[in-house]
Amino acid sequence: MNIVIKHRSRGRIRVQMDQPRMSLEQADLLESYLQQLPQVSRAVVHERTRCAIVEYQGSEAEILRALRRFSYEMDGLTPPISSSRSLNRTYEEKMVGMVVTKAAVSLFLPAPLQAVYTVWKSLPHLVRGVRCLLRGQLYVEVLDALSIGISLVRGDFTTASSVRFLLGLGELLEEWTHKKSVSDLAQSMSLNIDRVWLQTPEGDVLTPLAAVQAGDLVRVRLGGLIPLDGVIEEGEVMVNQASLTGESIPVPKRAGMTVYAGTVVEEGECLIRAASQSGDTRYDKIVAMIEQSESLKSSAECRAANLADKLVPYTLAGSLLTYLLTRTVSRALAVLMVDFSCALKLAMPLSVLSAMREAVGFHVTVKGGKYLEAVAQADTVAFDKTGTLTHACPVVAEVIPFHGQDGTEMLRLAACLEEHFPHSMANAVVQAAREQGLSHEEMHSEVEYIVAHGIVSEVNGQRVVIGSAHFVFEDEGCTIPEGEQSLYDALPDQYSHLYLAIGGVLSAVVCISDPLRPEAGEVIRQLKALGIQRAVMLTGDSERTAAAIAAEVGVDEYRAEILPEDKAHFVEEQRAEGHTVIMIGDGINDSPALSKADVGIAISDGAAIAREVADITIAADNLSDLVRLRRLASSLAGRIRSNYRFVIGFNGALIALGALGILPPATSATLHNLSTLGVSLRSMTILLTTE
């Protein structure tokens, strides 16, 4: 594409496309292309001027080459599914149309026709007000109908026209602002894919995503975005899952493994059998949930809506009282022009939607405003241990030899036995041997695996067993070597233990650790600094292991060796005592407690049922998102309180000035609408300005 450089500075360039005009779709395509370039930090395209403003890192020459390579017909280039550009254009045109129509009527229509036009356009407001009264409701529509109706009865068509115009303009701005906020939130999480390579008997065919059915085979190449949840049919790839889990390192995926919509193939190529249709992926479900979040309003949002309606009778009473005291209709109308409904009903939901969109930026998905409010109010946080405070990836911490054995040889023997029955602890032993370069050819005869107990085999004519203490010492009758009881008693408590015995005598203990997340302790300290009064760890692990982890991470208390229903019961007890509880977990066994808590928070790579039950999902690689979430929720609560103060104070002042005759009705309405717009725009700004 030919371009003209209009302005350049360090790290920023503005160019104009050499074309007669630019459509909205073309602007979206170009902006999407620029934003996907690795060196571009921000890109904005203005379709009216055909200009693109690009902020970048690195070489300007690379940006210019990329722009020259650009074509609207490039393969794989698709416009965003939900474009705020078209939404903005629609409402800009509506607003311009309203202003131009108002000016034309005022300038060119004779007074009688202006009066007829004003009455005609006022009818919808009058009808809505009458309907409210017939239903026995005193809502803001009654105020609007009264202010316009009284002006019409008095023959003051100019005031009636101005009030009607300002009300219409205010409603348009409210609708525009709210829809843009929801659209931006949905777009920030959508995949923006509309075509995929579908495998057919004739070869790979570029097919609309909407036409793909469950069971179809879709090919994704290097650099491609995986469009649907599915299972890899063939190929081996490295997948970047940061969009879902926050993991910075790509993970290997091969045939038979599950991949998810929204992740990116960074190496290789694969064929995926779709597990769901378009619109039914994890990502699509999250987007749909966000767009339906009105059903999960926080109590602050509900209070705002209720308060706005409850204030209507007082506004009516104030207007009537003003008229009775002053006998001046214009002063009474000035009071009627101001209501609290617009700002209260709009600013609070916008604040919540903006916070939810901001949370997406650090890989946190919130299912509704009431959960953010609960996070801000919480005083107790309960953590699952395995997979939440720890990585749920066992590793061998050390091998303690007994009976004169060599620790390295005992690890080699343990790996030789354990490689036949891959569970998490067995994998840890095999991996430790591999890292130490220990080869372990078959040293044994037939291996017998006893579920949940251990392994039995024979090496050099001696019976070898490896497994739990119960299995080795009680079931198998093995003994501790003479004189080594003190060594056995000193086994480190913080580890899980695998016991290896040869010929009925303990020969080694393999210490297995589930590494604590390095940030876990600091996260708990920061949460307490942000107002959390108590941190509790709930685990089904042994008392010994739980005590060691609890002491290391710094929780206030812990419950060990408990069942899933015990976790849920603990949460219920705390809530019954008046605590607001956050439960954080990742497994199926955590799901009952997640559902019982005021806020259930799931780790993104945990069990599917835990993510479904949870109210909030955080990234898997760092618990620090909990601190950001608490800060975000607290900042949101502070913003809502300040919005309350401003709306009540400013609009109360307008009512007072109108009653005193200082502000005429049209001016009161103008200032009221401007304040509503201002507080709404403020509600859409980011909350966490520093990280």
Burial of residue 345, with CB atoms counted within 10 A of its CB: 0-12 exposed, 13-18 middle, 19 or more buried: buried
Q: 179 φ, ψ to 5°?
A: -65, -35
Query: Sorting pLDDT into bands at 50, 70 and 90, what band is 607?
Result: low
Predicted confidence at residue 488, as pLDDT, reads 92
Q: How many CA atoms lie within 13 A of 3 on its CB side?
A: 22
pLDDT mean over 410-435: 81
pLDDT mean over 285-293: 48
Same fold yes or no, 3-79 and 195-280: no
CATH class belonging to 195-280: mainly beta
pLDDT tens digits for range 524-545: 999 999 999 999 998 877 787 7
Residue burial 368-383, b: 16+ Cβ < 10 Å; e: rest: bbbbbbbbbbbebbbb
> Three-state SS across 397-432?
EEEEECCCCCHHHHHHHHHHHHCCCCCHHHHHHHHH
Range from 144-158, 359-373, 407-421, 422-436 that averages highest in pLDDT: 407-421
Region of residue 155 (left: phi > 0; alpha: psi -120 to 50; beta: else): left
What CA–CA distance (Å, rounded) separates 210 from 196?
Answer: 10
What residue spans define the domains of the chain?
3-79, 195-280, 395-513
pLDDT tens digits for range 115-140: 999 999 999 989 988 998 888 877 77
Predicted confidence at residue 117, as pLDDT, reads 92
- Residue 454 pLDDT greater than 60, yes or no: yes
Could you give the percent of the chain with pLDDT greater than 70? 82
What CA–CA distance (Å, rounded) separates 577 from 643?
Answer: 32
- Residue 294 pLDDT greater than 60, yes or no: no
> 3-state DSSP call for residue 136?
coil
> What's domain 395-513's architecture?
3-Layer(aba) Sandwich (3.40)
Predicted confidence at residue 80, as pLDDT, reads 59
For 120-212, strand residue ranges (E) read: 195-200, 203-208
* Residue recorded with tokens 């609207």: 72
Mean pLDDT, the chain, rounded, equals 80
Name which of 272-286, 318-332, 628-642 the model is least confident about.
272-286
User: 3-79 — its CATH code?
Assistant: 3.30.70.100
Specify the pTM: 0.61
Predicted confidence at residue 422, as pLDDT, reads 56
What CA–CA distance (Å, rounded) separates 607 from 628?
Answer: 23
Strand pairing report for 251-253 and 217-220: unpaired
What CA–CA distance (Å, rounded) separates 101 from 98?
Answer: 5
